Amino acid sequence: MQESRRQHRYYDLILAAFVVVLLCSNFIGAGKAAIVDLPYLGTVVFGGGILFFPISYFFGDILTEVYGYAYDRRAVWTGFAALTFAAIMAQIVITLPVAPGVYMANYQQGMETVFGNSWRIAIASMLAFWCGSFTNSYVLAKMKIWSQGRHLWMRVIGSTAVGELVDSSLFYMLAFYGLWDTQEILSVACIQYILKTSWEVLATPLTYWVVRFLKLKENEDYYDIHTNFTPFRVKV
């Protein structure tokens, strides 16, 4: 049996950073469509939030690799709760009666543009994040056992590829099925998946550095051999 869990110096900081990235990427950048010219693919339209949303997977990989699946599971539930609260708060603030004046009228219009996403999109985003993050953590934890802790690059890229596949597939089908042409949904989802996964590949050297630093400072390198992988708990 592995030693019982203990307090860690850096876990709370990583948890806070994870939640901040999750909230910002969903509420600041998600509504903006941007373009980029890519080799072979030409001009590609993407949501601004995907430049930063993959950072949440970066933190998820670090939490699972160093502290174990249970600690990442707690972080996912914390992020899910924060997203839920933010979505509810946004809708309540938007529906409050607006004070008279041109400034407030313009301010209300801006809030509705930025934060007034439909509940369908908000729910799709939260469910996709929840499923994708747990898939990512589960795959990484299992791959760590199978590989006996070797080949970190293979684990972080492989788990992210699977997790982002679940995330992108669920979000676009739940949010836009019946509104967009199915072929368009598949095309956009594929592009977003490629961009998100490519981000993880580029970030692999940084992942190595952070994981090495945390394992040394925390004296922790957890293997999920006896872990209960149910997502429906927050106990570590």
> Cβ-count burial of 218 within 10 angstroms (0-12 exposed, 13-18 middle, 19+ buried)?
middle
Q: Give the bridge partners for 35, in sequence order.
A: 45
Q: Cα separation of 36 and 45, whole Å?
A: 7
- Is residue 202 scored above 90 in pLDDT? yes
- pLDDT, tens digit (0-9, with 9 covering 90-100), for 76-114: 999 999 999 988 998 899 999 999 999 999 999 988 887
Backbone angles phi, psi at 163, to 5 degrees: -65, -45
Which top CATH class is 11-218? mainly alpha
Band (pLDDT 50/70/90 cuts) for residue 49 is: confident
Task: Provide CB contacts within 8 A for 163, sequence distance 6+.
Answer: 57, 60, 132, 133, 135, 136, 137, 139
First to last CA, the chain: 15
- Is residue 208 scored above 90 in pLDDT? yes
Q: Cα separation of 153 and 138, whole Å?
A: 16
Q: Cα separation of 18 and 58, whole Å?
A: 9
Return the biggest CA–CA distance within the chain. 66
- pLDDT, tens digit (0-9, with 9 covering 90-100), for 150-160: 999 999 999 99
Per-domain residue ranges of the chain: 11-218
pTM value is 0.90
